[in-house]
Amino acid sequence: MTRGRLVVGNWKMNPATIKDALALARTVGATPHAAVDIGVAPPAIALAAVTDALRSTDVAVFAQDVHWEASGAYTGQLSVSMLRGLAAGAIVGHSEVRRDQGDDDARIARKLARALGAGLQAILCVGETEAEFAQGRTASVLKMQIARDISEVSDLSPERFIVAYEPIWAIGTGRPASGAHASAAAQTIRAALDASGASADGIRVLYGGSVSAASVSEFAAADGIDGALVGGASLKADEFAAIIRAFAP
């Protein structure tokens, strides 16, 4: 099964202003890129401006999170209906959102079901903590996260469902996982998807955690890894472009 490559820049709470986000989006949109799907996930407040700026390009725009309810009294949150037309999809279950919003796997499962049910793409993030890694528990943690996070979804279409393996200890630390560790994680993730009845072969698995122009070749060559979810390095258009190029077939 040939899976297309995908590189998504998660801008997190950056850049400083909507104007800066627009400038970055325009540069990404103007950079030629062959045979790699590209996405950016700007902060919610910049979604409309960035989507507008990228409308005539093939760069997909993602929200960084989405609420599990359709509407209601949820101050500060975004619903799937608000994202429709503004974003191709959403990141769901990022470890920073799990940490800061208190999301557990039950909540992530509802967010994922809500996003996919609304026809959005969803990039589900999973990954172990530093302590779990040190204890050799990566595989068991991933199996449990996948089983729980997809428990509310019946249709995991490979066109819309993507998994990002993001070991928490590698995020923002400048200490990426090895390609071999990422490959093993991707294999575990696909086995867990298969065990839950999904057809994992076509589902893309990205690696995220300190991906940079210097570290990307490790992941571009890693078996079972179909792209990257890039944080800090996606804020520098040149470096993001170099990461994208590394994944070109």
Residues annotated catalytic, as ranges: 94, 166
66 residue type, one letter: V
* Residue 93 binds ligand 13P (CB under 6 A): no
The correct pick among 63, 211, 222, 225 for binding ligand 13P (CB under 6 A) is 211
172 binds ligand 13P (CB under 6 A): yes
Does 209 bind ligand 13P (CB under 6 A)? Our answer is yes
Nearest residue (CB) to ligand 13P, 132 versus 191: 132
Total Cβ atoms within 10 A of residue 245: 17
Interaction between residue 10 and ligand 13P (CB under 6 A): yes
Q: Three-state DSSP class for 103?
A: coil
Among 7, 60, 124, 171, binds ligand 13P (CB under 6 A): 171
What does each C-alpha distance from 78 to 114, 127, 164 come to in angstroms? 12, 24, 21
Q: Which is nearer to ligand 13P, 174 or 197 (CB)?
A: 174
For residue 124, state whether it binds ligand 13P (rule: CB under 6 A).
no
Residue 60 near ligand 13P by CB under 6 A = no
Name the segment binding ligand 13P (CB under 6 A); options: 14-22, 52-60, 127-135, 230-238: 230-238
Binding to ligand 13P by residue 227, rule CB under 6 A?
no
> Would you mind telling me the total number of residues written for the chain in this entry?
249
Identify which of residues 163 and 229 has a Cβ nearer to ligand 13P in the complex.
229
Residues 6+ apart with CB under 8 A from 25: 40, 42, 49, 50, 53, 54, 59
Minimum CB separation from ligand 13P for residue 22, in Å? 21
For the chain, give me the number of helices (H) and strands (E)? 10, 8
* Cα angle, residue 77 at apex, residues 76 and 80 outer, rounded to 5°: 155
Cβ atoms of 105 and 149 closer than 8 Å? yes
- Token reading at 237: 């258009």
How is residue 4 written in tokens? 């297309």
Identify which range of 31-39, 76-84, 154-162, 225-233 contacts ligand 13P by CB under 6 A: 225-233
Interface with ligand 13P (CB under 6 A): 10, 94, 166, 171-172, 208-211, 229-233
